[in-house]
Chain A
């Protein structure tokens, strides 16, 4: 393949990844690295660099739509970003020392978890819990708009959520993904933040987290302009189209199909990693 053909094919693949990612709410980032490494034979370091860039693009691009809704909690986001950015820097450092096969295997395991999490929708945390001391001190409690007016909520288990967010940051920096699945685990499950609030707040955090590791990847020469260009433009365009057709889409079926695709890619990543081929 010459450069023109390669660029067009990668752009098309990224477009589909971005569209599916936006329709299913999983983000396009999770499939970019397997797509580039397994299908196009790209070195995993270049693939992670390009993926990080596309993660920032979708996060910042979707922010305007998310923020108008008034669900996101800026204090929760900013407080947890300390954990995710420190984690991202650690993860990006780690990526420089770990063998690419190890990175591929870790990637596969995280991918499997994401596939599992995407098909299991969690129940919205119960409302009406007592305030938490640390959350009160950090002024994390807030309210969000519902059909019956503003509904207030209390944030719980701040240290556990903060710790999990650090892990999400490490994975993001190590693998070049948004780590949406781990962020949901931390905010919905541990901190008991309402689903709509956690989704919109996490979208915002994903961009900041990815920017922290993107800086290091750029300095290290992992971000190739010729490769990142079609990936970023493709994912961004796909995410925009996905958001437009979302209201009429059969999201449930898509989620299952995408979940199966992700699981297959995950197993292949682990297999190739163990064989030392990535």
Chain B
């Protein structure tokens, strides 16, 4: 069985182990992709403003276009360096969210409805914190 997930599906049975191996790969690729985007945006950012004096001593908070998901995506699409970094960070934050999403499917395939519900609860909470204005 070279590909654990594919093999398990072909065998007609899905277990925790094969779901976990698939999830592990998913997370690793997600992190790699996020790191590449952050690195690309970072190089660009440094090329443009390497000589600027940064001040992180006083807290000002990020501007609105680097705070919410739709604005960050727009900034990244417009190829703004800081927008690209922030988009990469968003991809990174999305990796555990994707893991929870796939766990819902995994428990569903195992017909473990109690855990489908529990996992959906966690997923709902994660989506809520990312999309609502909670805590702002």
Q: Which residue of A lies closest to B57 (CB)?
A: A41
Q: How far is the CB of A126 from chain B (nearest CB, A)?
A: 25
Inter-chain contacts of A225 with B (CB < 8 A):
41, 45, 62, 66, 82-83, 85-86, 89
The reply to whether the CB of A176 lies closer than 8 angstroms to some CB of chain B is no
Q: Do residues A219 and B24 form an inter-chain contact, with CB atoms below 8 A? A: no
Q: How far is the CB of B95 from chain A (nearest CB, A)?
A: 4
Q: Do residues B23 and A67 form an inter-chain contact, with CB atoms below 8 A? A: yes
Please report the C-alpha to C-alpha distance between residue A221 and residue B118 in the assembled complex, in whole angstroms. Answer: 30
The reply to whether the CB of B105 lies closer than 8 angstroms to some CB of chain A is no
Q: Which residue of A lies closest to B47 (CB)?
A: A4
Please report the C-alpha to C-alpha distance between residue A65 and residue B51 in the assembled complex, in whole angstroms. Answer: 40
Please report the C-alpha to C-alpha distance between residue A36 and residue B126 in the assembled complex, in whole angstroms. Answer: 27
A160-205 residues at the B interface, CB under 8 angstroms: 204
Q: Do residues A64 and B24 form an inter-chain contact, with CB atoms below 8 A? A: yes
Q: Given A72-B20, A79-B118, is A6 in contact with B54 using a C-beta cutoff of 8 Å?
A: yes
Provide the B40-66 mask, 1 if CB < 8 A to any CB of A, else 0: 011001100111111011110111001
The reply to whether the CB of B111 lies closer than 8 angstroms to some CB of chain A is no
Inter-chain contacts of A65 with B (CB < 8 A):
24
Please report the C-alpha to C-alpha distance between residue A15 and residue B100 in the assembled complex, in whole angstroms. Answer: 28
Inter-chain contacts of B10 with A (CB < 8 A):
none
Q: Given A43-B59, A208-B99, A236-B31, is A215 in contact with B126 using a C-beta cutoff of 8 Å?
A: yes
The reply to whether the CB of B77 lies closer than 8 angstroms to some CB of chain A is no
Q: Do residues A213 and B54 form an inter-chain contact, with CB atoms below 8 A? A: no
Q: Do residues B54 and A226 form an inter-chain contact, with CB atoms below 8 A? A: yes
Q: Do residues B134 and A216 form an inter-chain contact, with CB atoms below 8 A? A: yes
Q: Choose one: A43, A64, A215; the contact of B129 (CB below 8 Å).
A: A215
Q: Do residues A46 and B59 form an inter-chain contact, with CB atoms below 8 A? A: yes
The reply to whether the CB of B133 lies closer than 8 angstroms to some CB of chain A is yes
Q: Do residues B27 and A64 form an inter-chain contact, with CB atoms below 8 A? A: yes
Size band of the interface chain B makes with A: 35 or more
The reply to whether the CB of B93 lies closer than 8 angstroms to some CB of chain A is yes
Inter-chain contacts of A1 with B (CB < 8 A):
53-54
Q: Do residues A60 and B30 form an inter-chain contact, with CB atoms below 8 A? A: yes
Q: Choose one: A64, A78, A93; the contact of B135 (CB below 8 Å).
A: A93
Q: Do residues A207 and B24 form an inter-chain contact, with CB atoms below 8 A? A: no
Q: Do residues B118 and A210 form an inter-chain contact, with CB atoms below 8 A? A: no
Inter-chain contacts of B20 with A (CB < 8 A):
67, 70, 72, 74
Please report the C-alpha to C-alpha distance between residue A56 and residue B89 in the assembled complex, in whole angstroms. Answer: 10
Please report the C-alpha to C-alpha distance between residue A112 and residue B85 in the assembled complex, in whole angstroms. Answer: 33
Q: Given A56-B96, A78-B103, A212-B126, is A229 in contact with B41 using a C-beta cutoff of 8 Å?
A: yes
Q: How far is the CB of A45 from chain B (nearest CB, A)?
A: 5
Please report the C-alpha to C-alpha distance between residue A153 and residue B86 in the assembled complex, in whole angstroms. Answer: 43
Q: Do residues A211 and B59 form an inter-chain contact, with CB atoms below 8 A? A: no
Inter-chain contacts of A41 with B (CB < 8 A):
56-57
Q: Given A61-B27, A208-B126, is A229 in contact with B59 using a C-beta cutoff of 8 Å?
A: no
Provide the B76-117 mask, 1 if CB < 8 A to any CB of A, else 0: 000000110110011011111101100100110000101100
Inter-chain contacts of B34 with A (CB < 8 A):
57
Q: Given A64-B28, A75-B115, is A57 in contact with B16 using a C-beta cutoff of 8 Å?
A: no
Beyond the given A60-B27, A221-B62, could you list 14 further A-B residue pairs with CB under 8 A, ordered by the A residue number?
Answer: A60-B99, A61-B28, A63-B99, A70-B17, A74-B19, A78-B122, A93-B135, A139-B114, A219-B134, A219-B136, A225-B45, A230-B42, A232-B89, A233-B39
Binding site for B on A (CB under 8 A): 1-4, 6-7, 36, 40-43, 45-46, 53, 56-57, 59-61, 63-68, 70, 72, 74-75, 78-79, 81-82, 85-86, 89, 92-93, 96, 138-139, 204, 207-208, 210-216, 218-230, 232-233, 236
